[in-house]
Amino acid sequence: MTSTDILKTLKDPYDQKARVFPGLLVMMPLLVPLLWIFGPKNPYMTALLGLIGSCGTIYWLASIARNRGKGLEEKLVAKWGGMPTTLVLRHRDNFLDSTSKARYHDEIKVKLGIALPSAAEESADPVAADNAYIGATRQLRELTRGSSHALLLKENIAYGFHRNMLAMRPIGFATSMLGIVFGLVLSNVIQLKPLALDFSNLAEPGLAGGISLAVSLAMIFAWLNVNELAVRRMGIVYAERLFECLNALPAKRKRTGA
């Protein structure tokens, strides 16, 4: 890993929003109380923030989010029976209306030169049908890369962000719970010397404790709203945007004989 890799991760819109953001959101409940404990100008805090901002820490967090997201995606695809882009093209899948499905099949034949299986052919050999759908999707993705398909990139980022957030949720819950513990200590609800609990201090937790508790509780609420249904929905939306790009592609030219 080089500094070029780190800069690329920070500048690339997909890496930044779909991978870096989930990693940093996991760390937020811990960074906020630490900032209050040490102060922004404390040498220890300065060193910690410097470590996070350099030395590949952000790249490392993004890699964790990516790897966990990919692992989760494999499980979701097995559960769903295929990627959303494959499901949308299947005749036997009823999520997309038949008119739009037929239009996508026709445009794939015209624009990509790939004849997709009929309903009867799909029923006779579902594996071969899925291979055709996956091949068409891969070719279309290659043709739609670039700034001219900004909306498609936006939906791809949304899908990647939700998938990686769901994959990071267990870690996010853990750090949020630790953040609550830090907040309770800063609020003097948890007293260390001597060890005691005083819940009356929750009425006036103080600025440091109050903000730490608020951030950690907000993150727990955010993690609770990250679920499989949202990931599937974002995947379907991306699939629809991808196949809508067919309309803007030129028709594939037929080869002429020598």
Q: 228-244 and 98-107 helices cross at what angle (nearest 10)?
A: 50
> For 152-169, what is the mean pLDDT?
95
* Residue 103 included in any domain: yes
The residue length of the chain stands at: 258
| Residue bearing the bigger pLDDT, 44 or 3 | 44
* Residue 182 included in any domain: no
The domain in which residue 95 lies consists of 84-149+240-248
User: What is the distance of C-alpha 193 from the center of its chain?
Assistant: 43
> For 173-184, what is the mean pLDDT?
93
* Residue 130 included in any domain: yes
60-64, 169-173, 181-185, 251-255 — which is least confidently predicted? Answer: 251-255
On average, the pLDDT of the chain sits at 85
For 118, the 3-state DSSP assignment is coil
Could you tell me the pTM of the whole model?
0.83
> For 28-45, what is the mean pLDDT?
72
pLDDT at 55 over 60: no
Number of domains comprising the chain? 1
> For 75-79, what is the mean pLDDT?
96
Distance CA 178, CA 176 (A): 5
* Residue 142 included in any domain: yes
* Residue 45 included in any domain: no
- The residue among 143, 123, 128, 137 whose CA lies nearest residue 88 is 137
- Alpha helices (H) in 144-224, listed in sequence order: 150-186, 206-224
For 74, the 3-state DSSP assignment is helix
Integer-rounded Cα radius of gyration of the chain? 24
* Residue 5 included in any domain: no
Residue with tokens 């937020």: 28
Percent of the chain past pLDDT 90, that is, above it, reads: 53
- The pLDDT score that the predictor gives to residue 253 is 61
* Residue 21 included in any domain: no
* Residue 234 included in any domain: no
- The residue among 63, 56, 127, 60 whose CA lies nearest residue 90 is 127
